Structure formats: C-alpha cells, structure tokens
Amino acid sequence: MGLQSRTISSIARGLKPAQYKAPYTRSIQVVIARNIQLASASSPTHTIKTCPRAHGYVWQRSMATVTNSTESTPPPKGVYVPAVLFMDQNEELDIPAITSHVLRLANGGVTGILVQGSNGEAQHLSHEERKLAIATTRKVLDENGFKDVVVIAGTGAQSTKETKKLCQDAYDAGAAYALVLTPSTWPPQMSKANIIRFHREVADASPIPTMIYNFPTVTAGQDLDSDVIASLGTHPNIVGTKLSCGNIGKLQRLTSSLSPAKFATFPGKSDVFLQGLYSGSAGVIGALPNVAPKAHIHLFKLWKDGRLDEAAKLQALLSHADWQLGKVGSIAGIKAVVSKHFGYGQRFVRGPLGPVEDINAFTIDKLEELIALEKTL
C-alpha cells in the first residue's frame, strides 16, 4: 500500500481533515509510514512514536508545538483536573479504573486532564508507567469522542536532562503540554538564575509547550516569585503556570503583566477558583474536580454569565469542600471519596503513601453536600 499524506490532527481515527477541529490545533502535513515523521520546511524532521504498550495506537497530535520561528499558544481557558492515578492492591496501575475516571471527568465537561501532577503520583512511577498513563488517557478520550479535551503531562524531575527526556516521552505518548516542576533536591543551590536557566533549557528542548508548576509544599519550600515567572513567560515555548502556592497577589501581577493570548495563569486550588477569575486567571487546575467536575464547570458558567451572587455561593461550598478533602488525605482521600461515591477505583496508593482506612472518621459534610450537588448537574 502506498504512503498516504494526512494532517496529523486527524490520524488517530482516520478522519478527513475537515472532520476534526480543535481551537488549539494547527494542521501540518505528515507522511504515514512505519514511523510517522513530522516535517517542517524550517525545522528538522521529528519522529512521532507510538506507545509500545498501547498496541500501536497512533495518537492525535494537537499542534501546540513550536519551531524556532513560531510561538506556542497556551491551553484554552477552563477547568483542568490533576487526575489521581488509580492502582490495585499490588500498587499496579488499574487501567479499567483509570479509564472510568477519565470518562467521568470528560463527561463532566472538563477542559483538560493533567496526568502525573502531584495527585497523579508522578514521582512514584517509572518512565514506562508515566508514558502508559498519558497514552491511556489520550486513547480513552479519542476513542470516546473527546478529542477536544486537552492532555497535560507532569514532567518534573530532579535534573534538566531527565526533565527534557520526560517532555519528549510526554509528546510521544500524546500530551499537548508539559507541566514542569522546579527541581528541589538541593534548594540552596537553586538560585533565581539557576531556576530560570533550568526552565528555559527545558522549554528550548521540549517538543511541546511547557508550563511552570509552582508548588512550594513539594519543592522543599521553593516559591517562585512573580518576577521569575514573568521573566520565564517571555520564552516562546513557555505558555502558562499552575500556582499551587495559592497566592492571588502573584496571580494578579502575572495576569496584568503577560498577555493571556500567550500565557495562561491558573490557580492550583479550587478554594480560590472564583477569586482567580476576578484576577484574570484562565480557570483552575485543582484536585477537587476529581470529585466534582460538573460543579466547577457550573461555577465557570455562572461567572461568564454574570451571575456573580450564585457564583460566590458556589465558591463558598467549593472552599469548604476543598478544605475537608485535604483533611481526609489528599491523594488517598480523593481515591477513597471517588470509590465510595462513584463506584469505581480503589483507595490504594503507592508507598510510602498509605491509604485512607476509614473515610467515616472525618467530618466531610460540606464535601458530601458538594457531591450531592454534583449528581444533580
């Protein structure tokens, strides 16, 4: 059979170019052969690989990638979920439960799914497991009519070299963006100059746009200030940030300093979702949508429709529920709550973390109120 030329955004299911549209996709021509090569008149040829554990599935490629002469675009505004990664009692990836979770989130209307954020236990996974998690998420979305749902991959590592490799792996597995956590093994050595150099070198090498992940709790207290992030935001392949520091002042400074057409600023917690929107954020990337994606989409719609009193009331519920979920146990707590209320997955996490043994030992009245609302939406 002769070689066929198609747009890369439509190769996943053999669609004609006109049948697939996405706001963040730019069509380019590829030649499909044993390896799929992405050719550009102004850049070297790259190879798009399939995940070896995904039965040769060819991933839909959202072309947010840059060449030396092109600026990347940020992810669309909306609600993003740093998805938990379900495991079985042997601490192996539970693919059926992961599939169920991805589908519930997508059916809930989320804009995108972050695979291997802090809630995805990225640091506990091998490279192959990380690729499998990304590939599975993209495949499930594509095969169930959710091609427009964005996949972001966490690619944090403790060296520049490994972070670059994880960005390449994320691209190979089907992610559209890479969320990069600052290394934290040697905090005294991570000067502002070293931090800026790290993120720039990763962005230079990454085949997909990168985003800066600022989460002091998991980086030995390193908290990137707005000057550092704004400086990095001028790089053509750095397109956003997730601020799990919860600093609304920092968020406001960034949204007023960087064009939203080039740089998306997201709070990393649901308890400041509405406050972030008032300050110019692009939405939210928070753990609570693992439990209640529809409620977050509803708040975003209330905000856009100008129904601000209703939005404020819902935000109050989200803030209380987010606080209670954290008390239950963060990653393990999310898994336990989802398993109990939505009927899939188990409470197991990978050691040294431990599972939540008894969810009833916690006061979660506001969280349960939110879940009840979620089931009516």
The answer to whether 331 touches 119, Cβ cutoff 8 Å, is yes
- The catalytic position among 242, 269, 335, 366 is 242
The segments of the chain whose pLDDT lies below 50 read 1-69
CA neighbor of 54 nearest in space, from 123, 142, 119: 142
| DSSP calls for 110-128 | -SEEEETSGGGTGGGS-HH
Q: What percentage of the chain has pLDDT greater than the value 70? A: 78
Q: How many residues does the chain have?
A: 377
Entry pTM: 0.81
Q: Please tell me the predicted confidence (pLDDT) of residue 219.
A: 53
The verdict on domain 78-297 having CATH code 3.40.50.150 is no
Q: What does each C-alpha distance from 118 to 5, 54, 186, 300 come to in angstroms?
A: 39, 24, 19, 24
Instruction: Tell me whether residue 242 is one of the annotated catalytic residues.
Output: yes
**What are the tens digits of pLDDT across the range 294-342?**
999 999 999 999 999 999 999 999 999 999 998 887 899 999 999 999 9
Q: What is the token pair recorded at 151?
A: 């996949």
**Strand order, beta sheet including 36-40:** 4-7, 29-32, 36-40, 43-48
CA distance 312 to 305: 13
The answer to whether 31 touches 143, Cβ cutoff 8 Å, is no
Q: Please tell me the predicted confidence (pLDDT) of residue 10.
A: 30
Q: Where do the domains of the chain lie?
A: 4-48, 78-297
